[in-house]
Structure 1
């Protein structure tokens, strides 16, 4: 049996006339789409496309398979709609809470996958700075929310009606201005190496950051600029301008809009866990479907779940 995703890729190329345009339509990179098509050709044992500088055209075998693939994909779409109606996913609204980093860098691809799978469910997204999303879920303002905790930090107890599932664990890393002396080298930098460094301090009055700020203070980092409201974009911009160094999640460093140097820290115990929270006893097919997509997208997150996620109050 042929992979439906690869059949859809072939149909997209047939309709778009080129791998590049089909990749844009499907959300792939052209090399990734080419790999899918090559696998389909191996599955069929036939050459399906002829590639040229002008695009890609179907061979006779490709034309035959596209005609059958359209029928198969149409039937699968009908089956998906019928199953969605049975599962309670044919309407209604899924209300999501998020915080800025996750909303920008994690949520969009999962929302896209959910929309493709369940186009009849409306989506509503609201911003909640952690841990406010937990309260919003408990109060019924949203159906689920992405939130985070830091290590080290005091544990945030969950209301008895709410459950949390970690989806991503990331280290905190040092960011500096490009060319900064601490950005050089591939070895991890001990926290003691921050002694005397001017530090862009990230909202130390927030419970989530208090443990991290305390660890940096013990290492001798000297507060230089205090960013009193949560805003990693501002922190990165100040670091890039040479006003100090900062310790931020890996995702923040990798997606900074301003140029920064990055270095891992020793012993790597500073971490952030991103979790999805939902109401425990509520039967909600849309929530379950969304959580499943999160697990599929970030399935390696469970490596550090034992001590880094929100904890339920006992």
Structure 2
């Protein structure tokens, strides 16, 4: 049986004409989406896509499967809508908290799918720093909040009433000005190559980034610009302008609004895990449905 998440990925590529554009639309990293498509091709037993320099196009088998997939996905959406009415999701409110990166790149496709399935649920979205979002869940200000933790780093401290569920793991990558020598190669870059390099230090005093910053310092990177507030748009803009190199989540690098060079780092030891925080002893149909949607949309994407 074909995985509906992978079928949706194939439909997205067919509509976008490119794996990269489809990944941006779905909130995946490009490698994670490529991995899902490769698994679908193995399930189908044949090639579904032909990659070319402008993007990707469907093979004959891919066109056949996309036509069927659209019908399957439409039926699943109808089923979700009908079940929602049975389970009390024909009204009410879902209050969400999010940090900026997730709010820009992860929430929109998930909320679009939720709205299609549950059009009568009122949605509210508030912007929080990750730790503040967890506190807002504990205080009952929001039903769910997207948060994150970095590796290396200390676990996110949680109030006793709150649990977190990981939904996406992504690597941290190096970004630089376009054409920089460090990002011109295709092989993974050893961290030792950062020795003596001017580093845009990302939120060096923030607990979530402290372990990452310490590892970069041990590798010999020299802070040239410190950005004490966690703003990746600014960090990428500074890197693009040649003020130093930076280490950011892959999702941020691939969707930077300023042109940057990007290169994966050796070992894959630098990672960010995005999770959803929720109150462990409360059940709310809308919140439970949205958590399930997040698991289905992102649960296998980016897993190491």
TM-score under structure 1 length normalisation: 0.73
The range that moved more, 109-118 or 155-164, is: 155-164
- How many aligned positions are there? 252
C-alpha separation in 1, matches of 2:207 and 2:160: 20
The CA deviation string for residues 103-141 of structure 1, in whole angstroms up to 9 with x for no partner, is 111110100000000001000000111111111101101
Q: Could you list the structure 1 runs, at least 4 aligned residues long, displaced by more than 6 angstroms after superposition.
A: 27-32, 34-37, 40-43
The CA deviation string for residues 209-252 of structure 1, in whole angstroms up to 9 with x for no partner, is 11111111111111111111110000000000000000000001
The CA deviation string for residues 13-60 of structure 1, in whole angstroms up to 9 with x for no partner, is xxxxxx98xxxxxx999968x9887448789xxxxxxxxxxxxxxxxx
Contact 2:170 2:303 in 1 (8 A): no
1:208 positional shift: 0.4
Aligned position for 1:269 = 269
Gaps of 5+ in 1: 1-18, 21-26, 44-68, 305-314
Contact 1:166 1:302 in 2 (8 A): no
Contact 2:168 2:303 in 1 (8 A): no
Query: What SS class does the counterpart of residue 212 from structure 1 fall into?
Result: helix
C-alpha separation in 2, matches of 1:220 and 1:272: 22
C-alpha separation in 1, matches of 2:106 and 2:207: 23
Query: What SS class does the counterpart of residue 175 from structure 1 fall into?
Result: strand
> Is 2:188 the counterpart of 1:188?
yes
Change (3 A) 1:122 1:201: same
Root-mean-square deviation (CA), in Å?
A: 3.0
Change (3 A) 1:42 1:148: closer
C-alpha separation in 2, matches of 1:219 and 1:168: 27
Contact 1:167 1:302 in 2 (8 A): no
Query: What SS class does the counterpart of residue 163 from structure 1 fall into?
Result: strand
TM-score under structure 2 length normalisation: 0.75
Change (3 A) 1:80 1:207: closer
The CA deviation string for residues 149-190 of structure 1, in whole angstroms up to 9 with x for no partner, is 000111222122111110000111111111111112112111
C-alpha separation in 1, matches of 2:66 and 2:256: 37
> Is 2:177 the counterpart of 1:177?
yes
> Is 2:256 the counterpart of 1:226?
no
Contact 1:194 1:221 in 2 (8 A): yes
C-alpha separation in 1, matches of 2:186 and 2:228: 32
- The 5 Å alignment of 1:156-171 reads 156-171=156-171
C-alpha separation in 1, matches of 2:114 and 2:262: 34
Structure number with larger C-alpha Rg: 1
Aligned position for 2:6 = none
Change (3 A) 1:301 1:281: farther
C-alpha separation in 1, matches of 2:144 and 2:67: 41
Aligned position for 2:295 = 295
Query: What SS class does the counterpart of residue 147 from structure 1 fall into?
Result: strand
Change (3 A) 1:223 1:302: closer
C-alpha separation in 1, matches of 2:287 and 2:94: 7
1:80 positional shift: 5.8
Query: What SS class does the counterpart of residue 224 from structure 1 fall into?
Result: strand
Contact 1:188 1:266 in 2 (8 A): yes
C-alpha separation in 2, matches of 1:31 and 1:208: 41
